[in-house]
Structure 1
Amino acid sequence: MNPVSLPPLLSADEPPAFEVVNGDSDALFVFVCDHASHLIPRRLGQLGLPDDVIQTHIGWDIGAAALARQLAAAFQAPLFLTGYSRLVIDCNRPLASDGSIPSISAGISIDANRNLSAAEMRQRQDVLFHPYQQAIAAHLDRRQARGVPTALFAIHSFTPDYPGEVRPWHVDFAYHRDRRLAGLLIDQFLVPGILVGDNLPYAVEDESDYAIPIHGEKRGLPHVLVEIRQDTLRDDAGIARWSTHLTSLFDRLAPAIRALAQNVKD
């Protein structure tokens, strides 16, 4: 039986599946931004959703890409950004997760994601998910082979309100089994008026996260998922403030972070 043939997911004039900034850098920090874009491939017809809905937090992490770009520029560090919305396929979800290609998000139904064929799901994985993950993995492989110290930072943002949940934190440093880097950041983030979350409102889990468990934990790299509350990232001034806060913190802790990274065994 011949495999099912589908039209290309992306046209030649559409943006690529992912973007790499400073890909040749040997800087200590490597940044990833898994929910960087709210773009939907034209062939998917906006997944049946109005543009104003896609541009909310269900479609991407508001402000995260702009912040990640500023951090990468500050340290001349590598940065990997997804090119398309998490509604098409979520690049920070395991493929077996219900959230990989969501049929509902924050109470909003994404009917176009229901009843997809195996071929349609595989196409999204092959075009958008795997190339992004493979690019990150290849970069980390090259660094490891050359003994380049590496600390992995995943940059995200979270909505300030969620049904039935109060979220007073301004920033969350999240982790799973390895708290070393997150603990440093939590202990040393001393900006007045900023409430720091320790795995709050999100913690990293194998069932719901990909970047930290796969690219960080499995390699033994110091790692952290950084979540910033979206209402503090909604304009250029807010993004610049967070860039200043985090750049100062990361720079001040760089010797301690480098020491963690140099203890990683091949």
Structure 2
Amino acid sequence: MAAHTANELLSPDDTAPFGLFNAAGRSPFLLIGDHAGSAIPSGLGDLGVSAADRQRHIALDIGVFGLGHALARLLDAPFLHQVYSRLVIDCNRDPDHADAMPTVSDGTGIPGNEGLDTTARKARIDAIHKPYHDAIGNVISQRSADGQATVLISLHSFTPVMNGIARPWDVGILHWTGQSHFALRMLESLRKNAGLIVGDNVPYAMDETDYTVPRHAFPNRLPYVEIEVRQDAIGNASGQERWADTLSKAMMEAL
């Protein structure tokens, strides 16, 4: 069932592996969305996953596509986002690791990812993962050549309940090593909002399992932040606009 070359994996009718909105934005912020899309290459069918499960958090970061566009408009920033589902390949994971193409996610089996051989895995990497990261690298390089500063903003969302445990946070600010000062200032800024529960490296902590920020921000010495917003807060356009307003203000203050 799996296609064996990149060209076979993405047919002429399949969409490109990433989207770039407001490419000429002059803001210092570069917005990225590793899990913004839910598309599956036509050659892979539905991966054996039900339509309902393909709309769950296991398939995409709910709300990030709209949130990224709203932020891009407010800030005049480019938004570069993945189009394909994280079930096909997770672009925030090392592509050589098994969890980049999971066989189970939050209790749901992914039959189309079982028994993938090296050739099938390479086809997904070459068609989806590599072009996405090449695009991020190219944008950063071009901005640097143009003398334009870049702060890398990685947008994600999280489910309010995981494994039966409620997560109380409205938003989480993730950081690790490198130029983490921007993330820490943004954390401080968001905590000034009365009524917001702001997590510091929760519900996830940035570590060696992350791929995008360590690959692009750390070696280029870029200020960065990874932002996790509750999915039920950005599940519609009005919520996305509200959170874009809140986050843009905190980002500007953190500068």
Please indicate the TM-score interval, normalised by the length of the shorter structure: over 0.9
Partner of 2:196: 194
Partner of 1:217: 218
How far residue 36 of structure 1 moved from its aligned partner, in angstroms, is: 0.7
Bigger shift: residues 152-161 or 169-178: 169-178
How big is each residue's C-alpha offset from its partner over 1:192-224, in whole Å with a ceiling of 9 and x where there is no partner?
211000001111112x21111011112110000
Aligned residues between the structures = 250
How far residue 175 of structure 1 moved from its aligned partner, in angstroms, is: 0.8
Partner of 2:168: 168
Q: How does 1:78-157 map to 2 (within 5 A)?
A: 78-157=78-157
So what's the TM-score if we normalise by structure 1? Answer: 0.90
Structure 2 residue runs without a partner (length 5+):
none
The runs of 4+ residues in structure 1 deviating greater than 4 Å are: 4-7
So what's the TM-score if we normalise by structure 2? Answer: 0.93
How big is each residue's C-alpha offset from its partner over 1:236-257, in whole Å with a ceiling of 9 and x where there is no partner?
221121111112222333xxx2
Name the Cα RMSD after superposition.
1.5
Aligned CA distance change for structure 1 residues 172 and 7 (closer, same or farther; 3 Å): same
Q: Confirm or deny: 8 A CA contact 1:204 1:212 kept in the other structure.
A: no
Letter in 2 for 1:135: A
How far residue 146 of structure 1 moved from its aligned partner, in angstroms, is: 3.1
How far residue 123 of structure 1 moved from its aligned partner, in angstroms, is: 0.5
How far residue 145 of structure 1 moved from its aligned partner, in angstroms, is: 2.6
Q: Confirm or deny: 8 A CA contact 1:159 1:231 kept in the other structure.
A: yes
Aligned CA distance change for structure 1 residues 7 and 81 (closer, same or farther; 3 Å): closer
Partner of 2:31: 31
Partner of 1:53: 53
Partner of 2:244: 243
Report SS of the residue matched to 2:217: helix
Identity of aligned residues (%): 35
How far residue 143 of structure 1 moved from its aligned partner, in angstroms, is: 1.7
Bigger shift: residues 139-148 or 239-248: 139-148
Letter in 1 for 2:142: R
Report SS of the residue matched to 1:149: coil
How big is each residue's C-alpha offset from its partner over 1:3-33, in whole Å with a ceiling of 9 and x where there is no partner?
x668711221221111111223332000000
Q: Which whole-Å CA distance do the structure 2 matches of 1:92 and 1:108 have between them?
A: 20
Partner of 1:205: 207
Q: Which whole-Å CA distance do the structure 1 matches of 2:128 and 2:227 have between them?
A: 23
Q: Confirm or deny: 8 A CA contact 2:35 2:91 kept in the other structure.
A: yes
Bigger shift: residues 125-134 or 110-119: 110-119
Q: Which whole-Å CA distance do the structure 1 matches of 2:73 and 2:183 have between them?
A: 22
